[in-house]
Amino acid sequence: MIWFIAALALTGLAAMPLAHRWPARAMVIVALSAAAALGCVQWGPAADVPVRQVSWSAAGLALFWSVGSRFTQPPLASFMSMAALLFGVIAAVIEAVILVMRAAFALVDVLHGYPSTAGSAYGFSAHGLLTIGLLLVASIVSLGATGPRRRLTAASLVLTLMGAAWASLMTPSFSANATGGYERAGGTVPLMLSWSILLLVTSIVTQNVDARRKWRWASSPTLEPPATPSSWPGLRLCFIFAAIVIAWSACLHLVVPVKVWTFGHGASVLATALSTLIAAIACARALTDYWSSVIADCTLGLFSLTCCALTVLVVPDQNRPLVEQYPIVFNAMMIGLALAAALWTWLTDVWQQQLDHGMAWTTTGRLIPFAGRHAFLAAALAWVSGVVMMIWPRLSTVATADESFARVTAGVGGNLLLLLVTLWSSRRLNRPAFRILTTMVVLSTAGFLLVRMLPYRSYVG
């Protein structure tokens, strides 16, 4: 095997002086790739599954040809870049499939409420971080080369997001508690924080690059015109996907707060608020570069979740059963969403000054219809939280009456706040949907009081 690897390597090296011809260039790529792959199998670390060997070998070849393309001249450099892209795609696809499978198993564990051992059966281990790291280094090396650098920016962001997700999912989904049961671990908290920070850093870097290029072009008109902000291929899709994942994880953490190491449930809610706020700022910055209706919806939705998380953060972190904690959380979410609805209604009115004879000429002007829709969406979700809080004591699986004076006062206060917001929004926006929602809020408020009064019906006759 050693002699065969050496023969392949020598064949590839011998063909390099003839690289001006197409067959010689193909021979260089094929021979050296085969020698490097066999060398990885022969002397590389043992893999837990066969597909892992293929993955990190392809990642190593991608890095090898990325470095090689930096120190060679065309046309051989273009062939090396193509080989690096081919092997990088092979390794990235394998790692993406394994990561999606791990995320699916983690979601099933969360839905079932207990951990499973199926996650280690398909190759999810720390070896994947090595493969993703090699691919990221190869992408960064290619970024420094001449050519279409902007096309690799999205690839570098995707690989960084994959690495952060892989590291976060390495922690178990559940941990054993003192009673012998299981409670959900906080592994997704660093996932939300890392992804939101990565989005913010990416938006800052791309905006600075565009600003510096515009400045150089303005100071030297002989240069080519600067690229438009939309010339960052793939970044828009990356922002949309990451924002959706962050929003979904935030909803999960708001409904079922988890303990973050020794900091308690409050740290999880605080991290959720920070993650949604940072991600919303990153998406808002991206909107100033390239407009996208989906990113606009993600931006306003993440800001609404931030308002919701800040109100849930006020809920005292007490050691009470979840069946008693849930109505308090729903009450806090109802207040937060009502405040978010009021915010979007107010901004819909304020942003009218960004219109020029009814036409939007700024990003905030284009956000006016989105703000109106999100005002209704936040109010409708607040009403849903109020309905859940209303029927909670009547559920067959709930034994608590939730009729204490503090709970009734807080529940009525949240419903009255939502009622005021819907009345104000219906007057400001003049939309029939808010009038219908106002009627539904009145009915849910009456239902909340009626359900809490049922235990005392014998005293009032």
Arithmetic mean of pLDDT over the chain: 79
Q: SS3 letters for the chain?
A: CHHHHHHHHHHHHHHHHHCCCHHHHHHHHHHHHHHHHHHHHHHCCCCCCHHHHHHHHHHHHHHHHHHHHHCCCCCHHHHHHHHHHHHHHHHHHHHHHHHHHHHHHHHHHHHHCCCCCHHHCCCCCCHHHHHHHHHHHHHHHHHCCCCCCHHHHHHHHHHHHHHHHHHHHCCCCEEECCCCCEEECCCHHHHHHHHHHHHHHHHHHHHHHHHHHHHHHHHCCCCCCCCCHHHCCCHHHHHHHHHHHHHHHHHHHHHCCCCCCCCCHHHHHHHHHHHHHHHHHHHHHHHHHCCCHHHHHHHHHHHHHHHHHHHHHCCCCCCCCHHHHHHHHHHHHHHHHHHHHHHHHHHHHHHHHHEECCEECCHHHHCHHHHHHHHHHHHHHHHHHHHHHHHHHHCCCCCCCCCCHHHHHHHHHHHHHHHHHHHHHHHHHCCHHHHHHHHHHHHHHHHHHHHHHHHHHHHHC
- Tell me if 395 is assigned to some domain: yes
Who has greater pLDDT, 25 or 170?
Answer: 170
Same domain, 425 and 449: yes
User: In the structure, what pLDDT confidence band is assigned to residue 79 with cuts at 50, 70 and 90?
Assistant: confident
Task: Say if 70 falls within a structural domain.
Answer: no
Domain contains 12: no
Of 1 and 208, the structure prediction assigns the larger pLDDT to 208
336 and 404, same domain (yes or no): yes
| Residues 205 and 298 reside in one and the same domain | yes
Question: Do 150 and 230 contact (CB within 8 A), yes or no?
Answer: no
Q: Same domain for 309 and 334? A: no
Work out the average pLDDT over 415-430.
93
Q: pLDDT class for 225, splitting at 50, 70, 90?
A: low
> Of 317, 344, 370, which residue is a domain's last?
317
pLDDT of 28 > 90? The answer is: no
Together in a domain, 311 and 330 = no
* Out of 79-88, 92-101, 306-315, 443-452, least confident range: 79-88
Residue 226 and residue 299 in one domain:
yes
- Which pLDDT score is estimated for 332? 92
Residues 268 and 237 in one domain: yes
437 part of a folded domain:
yes
Does the residue 434 lie in any domain?
yes
Range of the domain at 331: 322-454
pLDDT at 461 over 60: no
What is the pTM (predicted TM-score) of this model? 0.85
| Number of structural domains found in the chain | 2
**Residue 252 within any structural domain of the chain:** yes
Q: What is the pLDDT of residue 14?
A: 52
pLDDT bin (cut points 50, 70, 90) of residue 292 is confident
Residue 403 sits at the vertex; the CA angle it makes with 402 and 409, to the nearest 5 degrees, is 105
Model pLDDT for residues 357-413, shown as the tens digit of each residue: 667 778 888 898 999 999 999 999 999 999 988 888 887 777 677 778 888 888 999
pLDDT digits (tens, 9 = 90+) for 148-199: 567 788 889 999 999 999 888 887 766 666 666 666 666 788 889 999 999 9
Query: Does 360 lie in the same domain as 255?
Result: no
Does some domain include residue 385?
yes
For residue 206, pLDDT over 50 is answered with yes
Same domain, 357 and 403: yes
Q: Is the Cα torsion angle 273, 245, 89, 205 positive or negative in sign?
A: negative
Q: Which of 317, 336, 359 finishes a domain?
A: 317
Instruction: Check whether residue 331 and residue 367 sit in a common domain.
Output: yes
Does residue 282 sit in the same domain as residue 396? no
Higher pLDDT, 43 or 428: 428
**Residue 51 forms part of a structural domain:** no
pLDDT class of 228 with cuts at 50, 70, 90: low
* Domain edge (last residue) among 292, 317, 342: 317
- Looking at residues 279-301, what average pLDDT do you find? 91
Give me the mean pLDDT over the 33-61 stretch. Answer: 68
What pLDDT score does 66 carry? Answer: 84
Please, which pLDDT band fits residue 460 given cuts at 50, 70 and 90?
Answer: very low
Express each pLDDT in 243-271 by its tens digit: 999 999 898 888 876 776 556 667 888 88
pLDDT digits (tens, 9 = 90+) for 299-313: 999 999 999 999 988
Distance of alpha carbon 301 from the chain centroid:
13
- Closest by CA position to 229, among listed 248, 213, 251: 213
Question: Do residues 302 and 407 both lie within one domain?
Answer: no
